[in-house]
Chains A and B, each alone.
Chain A
Amino acid sequence: MSPVPRDRGVLVGTMGLEDDARVDFSRLRADRRGKVFSGMESHGLDALFLGGVGNVRYVSGARQLGRAGVLPFAPIAVVVQGTGRVHLLSTWDEGVPPEIGYEDLYRMNWNPANLAADLAEIPGVREARRVGTDGLTPRFAGLIGQLVTTAALVDAAPVMTAARRVKSPDEITCLDVASAIAEAALGALEDALAPGITERELLGIYNEKVAGLGAPNPPSESVCFATPSRGPVTFRHLASDRAVAEGDLVVLAPGALYAGYEAGLARTRIAGSSGPAGSAELAARCARGMDALITACRPGNTGADLYRAWENAGNPDPGVLLAHGLGLGAEPPLIGLGRGADAVLEEGMVLSVQSWVTQEGVGGCLERGSVHIQNSGASMLTRYGRP
C-alpha cells in the first residue's frame, strides 16, 4: 500500500500510474457496495432490481455502453442481500469488475419472458419477500410477479439515494478528474470562440476535446449558446446553425464524465473584442449571484437558504435551477423551479450550482461550478478563472 499523497493534485489524472496513486477503484467499488448492503439491511430489502444508469454503475462498477436518453425500466443489475452478490446483465466479461463472477452474469434478451426466466434463477431472488426497484413498467411488474418472485416491489430510492448522497474521498477524486476534463474542454471552446463560428462547430470542438481525453460520452450536449443583444433573452439547450456575432455574450458550459462521475462548469465569454454596453455589469451581477449561492452551500442549510441568497443578491427567479446534486450523473436534490426548498445540504454532498442572469439589450450570463460541501463550507471542485 502506497502512502496517501499529501499533494492531492497528483491524483487528478486519467492514466494509471506505476505506484498505484490515483483512484483505487476496487476500494471505491467495495465502499459503494458496503453502503448498499447496509442500506438494504436497515430497510429490510432482500433484493434490488436496478435499471437506472447511475444505480447500475454504483452497485456494479461495470463499464457499460453509453447511450443518450432514457429508456423504460429493465433490471440491469440485481443485488441480493442473502448471498451478498451483485448480478449484472452482461453477455460478456469485458468491462465487468472481478468481484462479479461469470456465474453472476445474465444475458441480454429481446424476449422479456426469457429475461424474467434468467432473473428467477438468480440465487435468493425467488424467495425474496421485499424487492426494491428504481422503476417499473406495467409489463415487467406482471412478469416479475408471474415468473420471478412474489415479493412486494417497493422503492429502492431510500437505499440508493441515501448511499449516493454523500461522496467518499475516492468519489471526490473522480469528480475532480471530471472537473479537470470539463475545464480542458472549456479552454478548447474559448480558443475557438470568435465571430463567425457556429454553435454547432463549438459543439463539435467540445466533443473532440473530451473524447480525445478519454471521456467520449458527454453528460450532455447542451454545452454552448450565444445570447442575443436585442430582444428577450432565453436559456437555450440545442446547438443552432447560426454564426456567433461580434460582441455576442456566449455561454460555454462543458461537462465531462470520468468513471461515470459527472462534473461541469460554465463561463460566459464575449465573441470578438468587446461586448455590448452593460455586459460588464451583467457579468458582475452574475458573479455576485454565484458567490451568494456558493456561500449558502453549507452543511445544515436547506434549499430555502439558496433561494434566499439568490433573492438577497437582487435577482429575480431565473427560470432555471439554482443547483442540483452531482455524482454518477445528475442526482437529487433539485433546487429551483419551485422545488427543493426543504432539501438539507450535508457535508460530503456535491452540487452543480449556477447563476443565470439576463438583461434585455445586453444578453445573458451563466456561471456554473461544481461545489463540494465540506464542514467548513463550500469547496470548489471547479477551478477556472472568471474574467
Chain B
Amino acid sequence: MRSERFQRLQAQLDAQDVDGLALLGSSAVAYATGAAEPAADGDRAAMFRAVSVVVKGDSAPHLYTPYLDGVPDDLPGDHLHGPLFPDLDDGIEHFAKAVSDQFGSGARIGIDHQTHPVLRALPGVDWVDAADVVSAAKLIKTPDEVACIRNAQLLNELAMVDARRILRPGVRQIDLSAAFLRRVFELGASANSIDPIWQVMAPTRELGPWTLHGDLAYPTVTTDRFLREGDIIWVDAGINWQGYASDYGRTWITGVDPAPNAKQQVQFRRWRSVVDAALDILEPGVSALQLGKAAIEANDGVRPWIDHFYLAHGIGTDSAEMPLIGTDLGEQFDERLVMQPGMVAVFEPVIWEDGASGYRSEDIVAVTDTGWVKLSGSSYEPYGLSA
C-alpha cells in the first residue's frame, strides 16, 4: 500500500512537472510516508509535526519525525531523519538543509503549508501548492486503502454500540464521548480524529443556533449538556486506523427504549430513498452533478443537504477530501468531477422538516468497475435496519 501510494505521488509529480514536495500537514505526511503519529490537538500537533520531503524519481520519501515508534519498517535508513521544527526560527537551518540537500536552486517544490521561518530560510525556492499533487494522487484508492477505511469504520461502528447503550435522559454529551472513546481504543483504533459530535437538533431551524445562511448549524461542539427525553441527536464521529479515517453518522433518539414516531419514520425512509437514488446511478462515468441532481429529485426538488456542506465527500487519510459532491465549488466543478473505480464517497444527505426536526445518516461506498460496494454498516437504530 505504501509503495503504491508513493508511485501515485511520483506519477503526479511527473504529470504536473513538479520537482518534489515538502509536506507539513498530518494527513499528507501520513499519505506520503505511512508514518504514524500520536493524535494531538492544535498547536501541539503543529509544533511536533512530522515532515516529509519527496523527491521526483526517488524510490522512497524522506521522513523527519519525533515519533520513531511510528516509522514504517520498510523506510530505508538513509531516508529517516530526526525531527524538524518548521514552526520555529530556532534550528530552521536544519529544515533549509533538508530541502536544499535534495533540490537544486530554482527547483519547483510543492508545499502544503508555509511557516514564516520556512519562507525566510528558503527565499530562492519556486514554491507551488502541494495540494494539486497530493489531492490528485489520493483521489483513487487502492484495494488496501479501501480495506483500511472499511476496518476503521467497523471499529467506529462497534464502539458506537456501547455509546448508544448508555443513552437515556440525564446522560450528558460528554458521557457518550467517554463511553465511545474508551471502547474504540480497546477495539484497536489507532487514533481519534475529531471530538465526537452528539448535537441535539431543535425541531425548527429558528430554534437552533443562529446561522449566516439561515440553514442548519452543524456540527456544534460537545459540552456537558444533558440529553433529555425525546431529544433528536445527530451523531458524528471519526477515528482512524493505520492512518485512514472513518465517518460514523447516525440519528439517535434519547429515551429508555426509543421508537421513532410516524413523522420520524417518514424522514428516515426519505433519507434512504435519497441515498438510494444516488446509488442507483453510481458507477464509473457518472458525474458529481448527476449524483446531486438524482438526490435533489428524490427529495421532491429540495436540495437534501446543508448549505455549507455537500451531498457526499471523499474519505482517506483526510476525513473529508475529494470527491466533494454538491459544494460551493459549483455546478461546473461537479460536472467535470466524474466517478472512477477506487473513489470512496460518504453520502450524508439531510432530511429536514421544519417543526419536526430531521434525519441524517452517512453511508460510505467505494466505486467499483461496475457500480459500488458499501463500506459502512447497514443498521440505523432506532430507526431500523432498512426502509
Binding site for B on A (CB under 8 A): 52-54, 57, 63-73, 91-95, 102, 105-111, 114, 133-139, 141, 154-155, 157, 200-201, 203-205, 207-209, 211-214, 216-222, 234, 236-239, 241, 257, 262, 324, 328-334, 337-340, 342-343
Contacts and interface: CB of A to CB of B under 8 A. Distances in A.
Nearest to A262: B44
A111 B310 CA distance: 12
Contact of A109 (B38, B175, B328): B328
A138 B127 contact: yes
Nearest to A239: B185
Contact of B41 (A66, A91, A108, A331): A66
Contacts of B209: 92-94
Contacts of B44: 219-220, 262, 329-330
B62 to A, nearest CB: 18
Interface of B: 24-27, 36-49, 66-70, 82-83, 85, 88, 90-91, 111-116, 119, 127-129, 131, 174-175, 177-179, 181-186, 188, 190-197, 209-213, 217, 219-224, 308, 310, 324, 327-330
Nearest to A215: B174
Nearest to B317: A69
Contact of A237 (B43, B67, B324): B67
B332 to A, nearest CB: 11
A221 B191 contact: yes
Contact of B85 (A65, A203, A334): A334
B116 A66 contact: no
Contacts, number: 241
A105 B212 CA distance: 8
A157 B49 contact: no
B328 A110 contact: yes
A207 B69 contact: no
A93 B221 contact: no
Given A92-B211, A138-B127, A262-B41, 14 more contacts: A66-B41, A68-B39, A69-B37, A70-B45, A71-B25, A93-B209, A95-B221, A137-B112, A207-B182, A208-B179, A212-B175, A216-B222, A257-B41, A330-B47
Contacts of A68: 26, 39-41, 45, 191-194
A95 B131 CA distance: 30
B82 A216 contact: no
Contacts of A221: 38-40, 191-192
B216 to A, nearest CB: 9
B308 A329 contact: no
B112 A72 contact: yes
A237 B36 CA distance: 10
Among all A-B residue pairs, the 9 with the closest Cβ atoms: A53-B42, A329-B43, A69-B26, A92-B217, A68-B39, A204-B185, A207-B181, A155-B116, A208-B182
A252 B209 CA distance: 40
A163 B116 CA distance: 18
Contact of A200 (B26, B45, B186, B221): B186
B69 A66 contact: no
A61 to B, nearest CB: 13
B40, B197, B308, most chain A CB atoms within 10 A: B40
A46 to B, nearest CB: 17
B42 A216 contact: no
Nearest to B193: A68
A111 B210 contact: no
Given A69-B26, A92-B210, A138 B111 contact: yes
A69 B328 contact: no
A135 B39 contact: no
B40 A337 contact: no
Contact of B181 (A93, A106, A204): A204
25 contacts: A68-B40, A68-B41, A69-B193, A72-B25, A91-B211, A94-B209, A95-B220, A110-B327, A110-B329, A137-B111, A139-B131, A201-B185, A211-B181, A214-B223, A216-B196, A217-B195, A219-B41, A219-B44, A236-B69, A237-B66, A329-B43, A329-B47, A331-B43, A332-B88, A339-B85
A228 B185 CA distance: 22
A135 B46 CA distance: 11
B41, B85, B114, most chain A CB atoms within 10 A: B41
A332 B46 CA distance: 11
B177 A138 contact: no
B178 A212 contact: yes
Contacts of B39: 68-69, 218, 220-221
Contacts of B47: 324, 329-332, 334
A211 B60 CA distance: 40
B181 A54 contact: no
Given A219-B44, A237-B70, A92 B181 contact: no
B137 to A, nearest CB: 16
A191 to B, nearest CB: 14
Nearest to A15: B224
A102 B308 contact: no
Given A68-B40, A212-B175, A329-B44, A110 B310 contact: yes
Given A68-B191, A68-B194, A334-B47, A220 B182 contact: no
B156 to A, nearest CB: 14
Contact of B90 (A52, A69, A91, A333): A333
B41 to A, nearest CB: 5
Contacts of B183: 204
A137 B44 CA distance: 20
Contacts of B191: 68, 221
B38 A334 contact: no
B42 A234 contact: no
A333 B90 CA distance: 9
Given A70-B45, A203-B185, A207-B182, A108 B38 contact: no
Nearest to B310: A110
Contacts of A334: 47, 85, 88, 90
A204 B193 CA distance: 14
A200 B182 CA distance: 9
Nearest to B87: A332
A137 B186 contact: no
A137 B178 contact: no
Contacts of B220: 92, 94-95
B25 A66 contact: no
B45 A340 contact: no
